[in-house]
Structure 1
Amino acid sequence: MKKHLHKFESTLWLLIKTVLYALLLATFIMVQKQENIGLRRLSRTMGITIFTFVIVGLLLLSVYGTYDVGRRKSKPIIYSLSLAVICTDAITYLQVMIMRANTNIHEFRLRGIELLFVTIAIQIIVIIVFTYAGNALFFLIHEPEKCCVITSSQESLDIIAYAMGRFEKQYKISSVLDYRSIDSEIESQIEHSDTVFMYDVPAERRILIMRLCYKHKVNVYFNPYLEDIMEVNATHYVLDDVYLFNKNIKTLTMEQRIMKRLLDIVLSLILGILSSPFWILGALAVKLYDGGPVLFKQERATIHGRRFYVYKLRTMKENVENYSAKKDDDRITKPGEFLRRTRIDELPQLLNVLKGDMTFVGPRPEMIKNVKSYTKELPEFRYRLRVKAGLTGYAQIAGKYNTTPRDKLIMDMMYIEQFSILRDIQLILQTAVVLLRSDSTEAFGKKKESHYRFVPAKEQRKEDVKS
C-alpha cells in the first residue's frame, strides 16, 4: 500500500491542498452570501470576489507559510494558515462591501460583520482538521529517516540532537560520528543512512562528506558559515566561457535607506497609536505592582557599534543584577512574566525606531557585554553591526530567545545579505506568528542535552582495536 502511495504522493498532496484551499474559499462564499445577494449567483461580484480571495490568499501564503505537512509541526502550520486566511477574509470582505456601495461612497457600510467571524471560525476548524489529518497521513506513508549525525563535540551533538528530537517522527538518529573519523568509516555510515546531519564541521572536511552523500544519493543537512551565506546569495556569472559565482559586497543603497526610514516612521506612528491601550495598561500593571519606575533603559549597540539606550516596560524587580533572563528567573515580576510572554514590554522601542536609533526590521540590539563576549567567541559577530538594530528580525521569527549566538548570527547575516523592502514587509507580517508561539520566549538556562554519546575519533579507534 505504501509503495503505491509513494508513486502518486505528489499528486495526492496537490489534490489535498486544492481541496483545502477550495473549502476555505467555499466557506467564505457560502457564509457571506447570507448577507450579499451578489454572491448567491454567478455574477461580476462573485467573479471579482473569487479572484481577490485567490490572489490575496496566495500572496499571504507565501508570507506566512503553506500547507507543508511533514516539514513543520501541526501548530505552526495552523498558526500560519489561520493568519493568512484571516487577513484574506478581511481584505476580501472589504472589497465586497466596497462593491456593494457601488458608485455612492456614502452607502458604504460594514454589513454582516458577525458573519465574517463565523466564516473565520469555520475556516480555522477546517484548517485544524486538515493539518492534523495531513500530518497523520504523511507519517503513515513515511517512516522516520535513518540519520547519521557527524559533528565535532558532545556540546554540538547535544544542540543538533535536541533540535532533531523535537521532530522525532521525521528523524531517527541511527549513528553518531566524529568528522575526524577515517574516510572509509564515514562512507560506510553514510551508505547505510537516509539522511546525514552535519553540525560544526569545518568547511574543508564538509566538502568530502557532501561528495560522499551525493555519491550514495543521501540527503544532507549542514549548518552554514559566513562563506556559505555569501555563496547562497551570489549571482551566476559567465566570464567569456568560464562559469563563476559573483558576490558583490555592499551596504544598503541610498534609495533603500530612504525607503526603510520612511517605512520605520510610518509604521512606528501607526502602531504606536494603535497599541497605546496596551502601553497604558502595561504601565499601570508595572506601577501598581511595586510602585517603581515604569520604563527600563539599557545601553545597547546599533549600526557601526554606536551606543544608545533601548526602552522597555520594566519586567524585573528594581536594583537587581542585569543579565539575560534565565528559566524560572526570580528577578522577573508577576506582571513582567505576562508582559514578556506577550511582548508588550517591547512596545516602547517604537520610540527608539521613531528617533532613528533602531529600525523596524534588523538584528536585535545586544547588551554591550554580550557584544564583547560574542565577538570574542565569534569574530564575525561584528558584521551584524553593518545595519541598524531592529525591533523584530529574522532571528526572532525563526529562532527563540535562547537560540545560540552562532545560530542567531547566521540568521542575521542571511537577513543582511538578502535585504529588500519587500523582505522587511514580509518579516513584519510574520512577526504575528511569534506572538502565538509559546516557545519563542524560551529563556536561557534550559540546557539542550541528549542521551546520545559523542565518541572522539581517537577513542573510536581504541575501542575498535580492543574489540
Structure 2
Amino acid sequence: MKSIIINLQKTIFLLWKILLYFLLMSIFIGAFSFPNPQLLRLSRTLGVTLLTFAAVGYGMINAYGKFDIGQRKSKPIIYSLGLAVIITDIVTYIQLAVMNTNPANNSTLKFENLGCLVIVMGLQVLLIVVMTYLGNYVYFRINHPEISCIVTSSRESMQQIYVAVNRYKKQYNIKYILDYRDKNLYDTILKCHTVFIYDVPIKDRTEIFEFCYRHSRNIYFNPDVPDVVEFNAQHIVLDDVSLIGATVKELSLEQRFIKRSMDLILSGIGLVVSSPIWLICAACIKAEDGGSVFFKQKRATKNGEVFEVYKFRTMKENVENFSSTADDDRITKVGKVLRKCRLDELPQILNILKGEMSLVGPRPEMLENVYSYTAQLPEFEYRLRVKAGLTGYAQIAGKYNTSPRDKLILDLMYIENYSLWKDIKLLFQTLIVLFKSDSTEAFDSKRRIEFPEYKNIENEVNTDEQ
C-alpha cells in the first residue's frame, strides 16, 4: 500500500493543492451568497467574481509563493498563502461591491459590510494552516530525509552551509561533512542521495558535479558570478553549433521610464498614506531622549555615486556608527521597535522621490562596507550597476547578517534577470519580511557550531561523519 502511495504521491499532492484552492474560493463565494443570491446561480455576477478571484489569486500566489508542501516549512507557506488570499479577498470584495451598486440587483452587499469579509479571511487562513500542516505531515511520513553530505573547503564555509541545511532536517539528513580534497570524497558521495557543494573552486566543483550527475545524485551548489551570468543566458544555435549567449543587459529606455514612473507614483502614494506613521515615529523618538528625529548617512548608489540616505534615528546620538550586533546598547528602546517593524526605513521614500534610490534594487551599503567588501571581493562593485533600492531580492531572500558574497549573488540575480513583473513581485514579497524573525538578525547572532572531527592540516583532510 505504501509503495502505491509513493508512486502516486505527485498526483495525490496535486489534488490536495487543487482541493485547497477550490475550498478557498468556495468559502468566499458561499459567505457572500447570503447578501448576494446571484452568486448561487449562473449569472454574470458569479462569472466575473470567479474570474476575478482566480486571476488575482493566481497573480498573488505567483508573487508570494505556491502551496509547495514538502519543499518549504509550514510557517513560510502559511504566511505567503495567507497574504495572497487576503489580498485576493479584498480585491474581489471591491469588485463585487462595485458590480452591485445598482439597486436592481437586489443585493444587500455594502462597502461597510466588512464583518463578513473578516470572517471569510479568518476561515481561509485557518483552512490554510490545517491543510499546510497536514500536507507536510503526510509528505514527510511518506518521504524520509535524504541522506546528504556537505563538500566544502574550510571550517568557516562549513559553518555557513551546515547551519543553513540543518534547518531543514525533515528534508536532509547530514551524514558526512568533507573537504573537497579528501581522498575518500567520491566513495562517500556514493553513500548519499544528495550532495551540497559550497565554496569549492570552480574547477574542482565541476569535477564533483560531473561525478554526481553520472551517478544520479542530487546536487546543490552555491553559484559564482559566471554561474549567475549563465543562469540568465539564452541557448542559441549558430548554423549547427550550440551556444549559450550571455549578452550585456541594461535597462531599455522604456524600462527606465516605467521604473522611474512607478517609483514616483508609488512613493508619492506611500508618503501620503504613511504620513500618520511618520508623525507617531517622530513623536516617540523625541519623547525618549529629545534628540533629532532623522539620521543621515553617506551611502553608494548607481555607478558608485554617493548620496545621503534618510532614516528614522534608532541609535543614541553622538555614538560611533558601525554595523549593529545583538543586544547593542547604542540602540534606543524606540529604535528596537522601529527596526523590528522596518519603520526606520520609511524616510527613504524621500530619497526615491529625489531620484537617488529606487523602490527595488540592491540595498545601499555604508561606504566603509563598500570599500571593505570590494577589497575582499572585487566583484562586489557589480551591484552598483543599478540604482540602490528601498527593498530588494537580497533583503527578501536573505537576512540582515547574510554574508557579503551571498548578498552579491542575490543582487546579481536581480540585476541580470530584471523585469517589471520581478519588481512588482518583490514589492509584494516585502510584506513577508515583517513575519521573518531573522530578517533583522544582527551580525554576531548566528550560533557557532563546532566540529571537532573536522581537520584540515596542510591539505590533508580526514572525513567527517556527523
Question: TM (normalized to structure 1)?
Answer: 0.95
Residues 2 and 305 of structure 1, relative CA distance in 2, 3 Å threshold: same
For 1:96 and 1:71, the matched residues in 2 are separated by: 35
1:377-435 CA distances to partner (integer Å, 9 max, x unpaired)?
11000011111110000000000111111100000000000111111111111101111
For 1:156 and 1:2, the matched residues in 2 are separated by: 39
Q: Does 1:171 align with 2:200?
A: no
Per the TM alignment, residue 103 of structure 1 is displaced from its structure 2 partner at its CA by 9.7
1:66 matched residue in structure 2: 66
Q: Which runs of 5+ in 1 are unaligned?
A: none
Contact 1:178-1:457 within 8 A present in 2 as well: no
2:26 matched residue in structure 1: 26
2:268 matched residue in structure 1: 269
1:316-348 CA distances to partner (integer Å, 9 max, x unpaired)?
111111001111111111111000000111000
What percent identity do the matched residue pairs reach? 51
Corresponding residue SS for 1:11: helix
Q: Which runs of 5+ in 2 are unaligned?
A: none
Contact 2:152-2:200 within 8 A present in 1 as well: yes
For 1:395 and 1:357, the matched residues in 2 are separated by: 19
Residues 427 and 463 of structure 1, relative CA distance in 2, 3 Å threshold: closer
> What residue identity is the alignment partner of 1:295?
F
For 1:78 and 1:463, the matched residues in 2 are separated by: 39
1:149 matched residue in structure 2: 150
Residues 69 and 21 of structure 1, relative CA distance in 2, 3 Å threshold: same
- Between 1:169-178 and 1:153-162, the stretch displaced more is 169-178
2:140 matched residue in structure 1: 139
Corresponding residue SS for 2:434: helix
Per the TM alignment, residue 52 of structure 1 is displaced from its structure 2 partner at its CA by 1.5
Q: Does 1:47 align with 2:57?
A: no
For 2:331 and 2:2, the matched residues in 1 are separated by: 52
> What residue identity is the alignment partner of 1:165?
N
- Between 1:129-138 and 1:295-304, the stretch displaced more is 129-138
2:440 matched residue in structure 1: 441
1:256 matched residue in structure 2: 255
Corresponding residue SS for 1:101: coil
For 1:199 and 1:462, the matched residues in 2 are separated by: 17
Contact 1:180-1:457 within 8 A present in 2 as well: no
Corresponding residue SS for 1:275: helix
Aligned length: 461
2:277 matched residue in structure 1: 278
For 1:41 and 1:457, the matched residues in 2 are separated by: 76
RMSD (Å) for aligned C-alpha atoms: 1.9
For 2:447 and 2:429, the matched residues in 1 are separated by: 26
For 2:419 and 2:461, the matched residues in 1 are separated by: 51
Per the TM alignment, residue 109 of structure 1 is displaced from its structure 2 partner at its CA by 4.6
Per the TM alignment, residue 65 of structure 1 is displaced from its structure 2 partner at its CA by 0.3
Residues 216 and 458 of structure 1, relative CA distance in 2, 3 Å threshold: farther
Residues 306 and 8 of structure 1, relative CA distance in 2, 3 Å threshold: same
Corresponding residue SS for 1:209: helix
For 2:229 and 2:177, the matched residues in 1 are separated by: 29
For 1:445 and 1:461, the matched residues in 2 are separated by: 28
> What residue identity is the alignment partner of 2:297?
Q
2:383 matched residue in structure 1: 384
Residues 463 and 176 of structure 1, relative CA distance in 2, 3 Å threshold: closer
Contact 2:456-2:462 within 8 A present in 1 as well: no
Alignment of 1:306-345 (within 5 A): 306-345=305-344
2:361 matched residue in structure 1: 362
Question: TM (normalized to structure 2)?
Answer: 0.96
Per the TM alignment, residue 358 of structure 1 is displaced from its structure 2 partner at its CA by 0.5
For 1:153 and 1:255, the matched residues in 2 are separated by: 46
